[in-house]
Amino acid sequence: MAPPQALFDTVQTGYLPGLWKHPGEVDGRAVVKMLSFTAPETARAAGVPRKSVNLQRPHKELEERFRQWAMLIEQVAKFFEGDEDKTMLWFRTENPMLGGLKPREMIQFGRADKLKRIIADAVAGELP
Q: What does the domain layout of the chain look like in residue ranges?
A: 4-123
pLDDT band at 33 (very low <50, low <70, confident <90, very high): very high
Contact between 16 and 73 under an 8 Å Cβ cutoff? The reply is yes
So what's the pLDDT on residue 40?
93
C-alpha dihedral sign at 29, 47, 65, 62: positive
So what's the pLDDT on residue 11?
59
Nearest CA to 69 among 122, 28, 100, 41?
28
Which amino acid, residue 74? E
Residue 1: pLDDT over 60: no
So what's the pLDDT on residue 15?
85
Contact between 119 and 76 under an 8 Å Cβ cutoff? The reply is yes
What SS3 class is residue 70? Answer: helix
CA distance 90 to 1: 26
Residues near 109 by Cβ (< 8 Å), separated by ≥ 6?
44, 45, 101
Across all residues in the chain, what is the average pLDDT? 87
CA distance 105 to 35: 9
Residue 24: pLDDT over 80: no
Q: Taking residues 16-35, what's their average pLDDT? A: 88
Give tens-digit pLDDT for 46-74.
Answer: 999 998 888 778 888 899 999 999 999 99
So what's the pLDDT on residue 92?
96
DSSP alpha helix (H) spans, 51-102: 60-79, 84-92
Give tens-digit pLDDT for 73-94.
Answer: 999 999 999 999 999 999 999 9
Nearest CA to 84 among 18, 10, 3?
18
